[in-house]
Amino acid sequence: MTDQPARPPQPPAEGSASPAAFSRRLLLVHAHPDDESINNGLTMAKYAAEGALVTLVTCTLGEEGEVIPPELAALAPDRDDTLGPYRAGELAAAMAALGVTDHRFLGGPGRYRDSGMMGASQNDRPDAFWQAPLDEAAGELVAVIREVRPQVLVTYDPNGGYGHPDHIQAHRVAMRGAELAARADFRPELGRAHEIAKIYWNCNPRSVVEEGFARLRAAGHSFPGVATVDDVPGVVPDSEVTASLTGDPAYAAAKSAAMRAHYTQIAVDGPFFALSNDLGQPLFRTEHYQLVHGVPGAAAGVREDDLFAGIGEMVGMEESARIEEAAE
């Protein structure tokens, strides 16, 4: 799918269609508003533009984030504590930039609160996502999975990419949710069981990250400092990457716009960006994945360039199984 025409991501037509009307359905599970744009902005823009159903589930409002712009400092949790709702607005703007219309917060907005960095006292708040009983939080995701019936799920690795408690918990909820959604005996009131064909974890190949930092140092930039490879989440040996997505430059532009929409959290400078630590890092225009469940849609040793690769036949099988079921 590298020969798509150049056009910006288009939202689906108004009044659209139930999930079943989309032949390709992608679900992403993230911890905070902004994680989706940093990790998967290009992927989301690409599939939305190609007419797939892209569903984002964000587990918290990101209430404990640090606020970059000085003029918005009062939003912070130790002041007005209004960063969560503000970030929900930023997320809505980012989704518009990506052309994604199906966005939900796990259990509804504010159901689970940002847990703060590992070891912070906020980890222990009873409403912190880190404290959520796993099967209860996963049950909230099961309802979404059985409604949307995605063929592909994207989330973090078991370390959440970089050890943030909400990212680790988002990984656990996503994996457990996928498992429980497929079990007909788990809470049948949440809908008909559904098995997700392929599950991917976000990752970044080490060579690409190192090359990105070399570019950053050579280019000159406006950031007070530069991050290191260890600051980038999910860095893995190149050999562990199983899928790499690029596509139309419009998708990279949409990713950049979506990241800018998270104005309290991200400062974007051309092909680079910084989080609240003010350390510049490369903004990647190719996104990488590791397939951890399901059948690869490319030959052994060859990276997929489409997360749905090999799924067409399986969709057909699911449909015909349902028709046979109905005929019995």
d(CA 293, CA 209): 25
Q: How far is the CB of 136 from Zn ion (least distance, A)?
A: 21
Among 9, 27, 28, 35, binds Zn ion (CB under 5 A): 35
Q: How far is the CB of 43 from Zn ion (least distance, A)?
A: 17
d(CA 76, CA 38): 22
> Of the listed pieces 31-39, 49-57, 266-274, 295-303, which binds Zn ion according to CB under 5 A?
31-39
d(CA 242, CA 291): 6
Give whichever of 35 and 248 is closer to Zn ion, judged by the CB atom. 35
**Which residues in the 104-143 window bind Zn ion by CB under 5 A?**
none
Q: How far is the CB of 50 from Zn ion (least distance, A)?
A: 27
Across 247-259, b (16+ Cβ under 10 Å) vs e yields bbebbbbbbbbbb
Q: How far is the CB of 98 from Zn ion (least distance, A)?
A: 17
Give whichever of 162 and 223 is closer to Zn ion, judged by the CB atom. 162
Among 27, 28, 31, 142, binds Zn ion (CB under 5 A): 31
Angle at which helix 249-261 crosses helix 35-49, to 10 degrees, equals 140
Give whichever of 242 and 265 is closer to Zn ion, judged by the CB atom. 265
Q: How far is the CB of 182 from Zn ion (least distance, A)?
A: 27
d(CA 111, CA 64): 15
Q: How far is the CB of 33 from Zn ion (least distance, A)?
A: 8
Give whichever of 66 and 179 is closer to Zn ion, judged by the CB atom. 66
> Of the listed pieces 20-28, 29-37, 46-54, 211-219, which binds Zn ion according to CB under 5 A?
29-37
Pairing of strands 235-236, 198-205: parallel
**55: DSSP letter:** E
> Which amino acid does the sequence have at 223?
F
Q: In this structure, what token pair is assigned to residue 124?
A: 């222990």
116 CB burial (10 A radius; 0-12, 13-18, 19+): buried
Q: How far is the CB of 116 from Zn ion (least distance, A)?
A: 11
Q: How far is the CB of 162 from Zn ion (least distance, A)?
A: 9
The binding track of 59-98 with respect to Zn ion, each residue x by CB under 5 A or -, is: ----------------------------------------
- Helix H segments across 14-164? 35-49, 83-98, 134-148
> Of the listed pieces 27-35, 94-102, 139-147, 199-207, which binds Zn ion according to CB under 5 A?
27-35
Per CB under 5 A, 180 contacts Zn ion: no
Give φ, ψ of 9 to 5 degrees. -55, 135
Per CB under 5 A, 145 contacts Zn ion: no
- Rounded to 5 degrees, what angle do the CA atoms 172, 175, 180 make? 115
Give whichever of 46 and 164 is closer to Zn ion, judged by the CB atom. 164
Alpha-carbon distance values, 247 to 95, 104, 215, 219, 311 (Å): 19, 26, 21, 24, 19
Give whichever of 31 and 203 is closer to Zn ion, judged by the CB atom. 31
- Rounded to 5 degrees, what angle do the CA atoms 197, 199, 200 make? 145
How many residues line the site for Zn ion (CB under 5 A)? Answer: 3
> Of the listed pieces 23-31, 112-120, 199-207, 290-298, which binds Zn ion according to CB under 5 A?
23-31
Give whichever of 32 and 149 is closer to Zn ion, judged by the CB atom. 32
Q: List interacting residues with Zn ion (CB under 5 A).
A: 31-32, 35
